[in-house]
Amino acid sequence: MRLMFGLIAVFASVLGGFYAMGGRMAVLWQPVEIVIIIGAGIGGFAIANSPSVLRDTLRAVGAIARGRSTPKNDYLDMIALVYGLLRVAKSKGMSQIEADIDKPAESPLFTQYPNVLRYERCMTFLCDYLRLIALGQDNPHDLESLMTEELDTLGRELNQVPKALQNLADALPALGIVAAVLGVINAMGAISEAPEVLGRMIGGALTGTFLGVLLSYGMVGPIASAARQRRESELNMYFCIKAALCAYLRGSPPQVCAEYARKVLYTDIQPSLAEVEVATTLSSQAKARDARQPA
């Protein structure tokens, strides 16, 4: 919804302003110029990026069009899940959660939070490091260093699509100039035509520059920025896990670990202390209820 509203606002403002100053809208309709700019942009984008980035770009743009982002409740569920796992590990030992981390989709702890299970790669990250702890890697500095290295790699990977889109946005004004130059060359070839004909041809050529700049700063650039923000919000999930597990290895109780996880989130998505207390209390009650149920 925000994508459609933004695009409508951009094009309505620009085209409406042009019409209000007395411009002729028909002059802006230059199909050949549009084909040159968009075709060259898509071609260059395909050359510059791997197939995986191309597929990921389609998914990212689709998510932006649907307005999909990481909601605040998903972060809260993630904190509650990590709290529940660490609570069991602290009271009964890491061996008690090995079955949970081996098959999260079948775990009573994990299935309490179906929204979190959708983040498959994030769940793999969590289970991998819990498994390392269960295997005896209890040095907080070593584990934190390993998580930092992995998150650096993950951050670069998640930034591939925003970077590719921003490169396309940066190239569009130049491609607009290419279309404009071709239009001027065409106009110079018809220099003997009447002035009004020559004027229309030159005006059409200059439309290429206009379209390149508009598509860059009014469309592709903002989409690249939106994709970057969504990737950063996804990365925050991993930082929550890292903060909680490092606090656990340093000997903090599970409730304090949950507070560490909460503190690394941005203000607009950070749940309050009271919300975390309620979520972790519900997690504890659900675990106790499951334990009372007969096998």
Give the per-residue pLDDT at 2.
81
Asked whether residue 25 is assigned to any structural domain, the reply reads no
In the chain, what percentage of residues exceed pLDDT 70? Answer: 95
Give the per-residue pLDDT at 202.
84
Per residue in 108-118, pLDDT (tens digit) is 889 888 888 88
Largest CA distance in the chain: 94
C-alpha to C-alpha distance for 138 and 94, rounded to whole angstroms: 11
User: Does residue 102 contact residue 134 with C-beta atoms inside 8 Å?
Assistant: no
Asked whether residue 3 is assigned to any structural domain, the reply reads no
Give the per-residue pLDDT at 292.
42
Domain range for residue 277? 31-288
C-alpha to C-alpha distance for 228 and 167, rounded to whole angstroms: 13
Per residue in 34-86, pLDDT (tens digit) is 999 999 999 999 999 999 999 999 999 988 888 766 788 889 999 999 999 99
Give the per-residue pLDDT at 197.
76
Per residue in 132-166, pLDDT (tens digit) is 998 887 788 888 999 999 999 999 999 999 999 99
**Which whole number is the average pLDDT over 231-254?**
92
Distances in whole angstroms, Cα of residue 291 to Cα of each of 204, 287, 288: 74, 6, 5
Give the per-residue pLDDT at 293.
46
Asked whether residue 1 is assigned to any structural domain, the reply reads no
Instruction: Please report which confidence band the pLDDT of residue 285 belongs to, taking 50, 70 and 90 as the band edges.
Output: low
The total domain count for the chain is: 1
Contacts of residue 240, defined as CB under 8 A and 6 or more positions apart, other chains included, come to 75, 78, 79, 82, 261, 262, 264, 265
Asked whether residue 5 is assigned to any structural domain, the reply reads no
C-alpha to C-alpha distance for 73 and 118, rounded to whole angstroms: 13
Give the per-residue pLDDT at 51.
95
Burial of 76 (0-12, 13-18, 19+ CB in 10 A): buried
Asked whether residue 207 is assigned to any structural domain, the reply reads yes
In the chain, what percentage of residues exceed pLDDT 90? Answer: 47
Asked whether residue 143 is assigned to any structural domain, the reply reads yes
Residue 289 has pLDDT above 60, yes or no: no
Burial of 86 (0-12, 13-18, 19+ CB in 10 A): buried
Asked whether residue 247 is assigned to any structural domain, the reply reads yes
Distances in whole angstroms, Cα of residue 143 to Cα of each of 125, 147, 239: 13, 6, 13
Asked whether residue 230 is assigned to any structural domain, the reply reads yes
C-alpha to C-alpha distance for 172 and 206, rounded to whole angstroms: 14
Give the per-residue pLDDT at 224.
95
Three state DSSP letters for the chain: CHHHHHHHHHHHHHHHHHHHCCCCHHHHCCHHHHHHHHHHHHHHHHHHCCHHHHHHHHHHHHHHHHCCCCCHHHHHHHHHHHHHHHHHHHHHCHHHHHHHHHCHHHCCCHHHCHHHHCCHHHHHHHHHHHHHHHCCCCCHHHHHHHHHHHHHHHHHHHCHHHHHHHHHHHHHHHHHHHHHHHHHHHHHCCCCCCHHHHHHHHHHHHHHHHHHHHHHHHHHHHHHHHHHHHHHHHHHHHHHHHHHHHHHHCCCCHHHHHHHHHHCCCCCCCCCHHHHHHHHHHHHHHHHHHHHCCC
